[in-house]
Amino acid sequence: MGSNFAITAAKAFHKYDITILDALTYAANLDNLEKINGEFKFVLGDIRNQELVDALVAENEIVVNFAAETHNDNSLTGPDIFIETNIIGTYNLLKSVRKFSSRFHQVSTDEVFGDLPLNSSESFTEESPFKPSSPYSASKASADLLIRSWIRSYNIEATISHSSNNFGENQFPEKFIPNAINLLKQNRPIQLYGNGLNIRDWIYVNDHSHAVLKIIECGKSAEEYNIGARQLKSNLEIAYMLNKSFGKSEDFIEFVPDRPGHDKKYSISPNKLETELDWLPTGPSIEKWISNLF
């Protein structure tokens, strides 16, 4: 998501110089930046390094925070790094943007709202209360609350977006769709937690990047925006699509024990983004994207 945004921003923001700060942890891939059209500055470093963050924020008008540990499974077995990066790292950025009067945008997740019953017709809005279920989502909710307090107490200029599940090119293989693709390439069945009926809301990664750009360009400070494409699919439905794309039978699936605290359903309303900022997704549906994989 971060590299896709950098590519999108480079195309759109010709008047801005782009600086990318990345710690190059296990999920990073510098090759993803090869498609950037124009010059940019890459800095190897960590948002937990306050001195480095200060030096970079001092040189930039806008700070967009994509930096995060995001994998729920990892947060269950090793939550420390999620607390350090997602909370302390965001705290460091907030101290810097306050010091240098830079604008701040936080890329958050719909998972801060918790989950919905599978049969629910509701969707999360910007006013939905935070009810995180995992160390990952709790760390993102904590960061969001810090930002809200910095806006209220220190009057910083900041916005927050909550996104549904992204899909698209160059996604790290630990995520569901690329992991399933890798298994199928090895002629191994897709693995699904529990009964596979957990529902997710999907958006093409380019659409997410353009939504963040729209918020930066047109959004109001202190506002929060939900980013989604109204594509609700169960994990089982996604598995069926992938198996069909690979010429496998629908039941080429291995069901594994469910993970602790597994959220049942995410559904997010992008109505505010659509009506107030005139944004709409234009990318492929998840069905079309999967069908065109091979």
Q: Which residues are catalytic?
A: 110-111, 136
User: What gap in Å lies between CA 206 and CA 193, rounded to an integer?
Assistant: 28
User: What gap in Å lies between CA 233 and CA 236, rounded to an integer?
Assistant: 8
Closest CA to 12 of 211, 204, 171: 211
Q: Write down the H helix ranges in the chain.
A: 2-12, 50-57, 72-77, 80-82, 89-100, 135-154, 176-185, 205-218, 235-245, 271-277, 286-291
DSSP secondary structure, 63-119, as one string: EEE------HHHHHH-THHHIIIIIIHHHHHHHHHHHHT-EEEEEEEGGGG----TT
